[in-house]
Amino acid sequence: MTARRAYPSDLSDARWALIAPRLTAWRQARTDAGVSGR
């Protein structure tokens, strides 16, 4: 398998490390509230 080309919207590992905890907390809050994505 070959590596894919990077997209301009791709996040670096460092930027993802800043976002991941907030995204995880947001998902958990929605799950706890019983909100579904469907």
The average pLDDT across 6-20 equals 93
Distance CA 11, CA 13 (A): 6
The average pLDDT across 1-17 equals 90
pLDDT of 33: 85
On whether the pTM is more than 0.85, the answer is no
The average pLDDT across 21-35 equals 90
Q: What are the tokens at 8?
A: 């301009």
φ, ψ of residue 9 to 5 degrees: the values are -85, -5
pLDDT of 38: 61
Q: How confident is the model at residue 7 (pLDDT cuts 50, 70, 90)?
A: very high
Contact status, residue 11 vs residue 19, Cβ threshold 8 Å: yes
Distance CA 16, CA 31 (A): 22
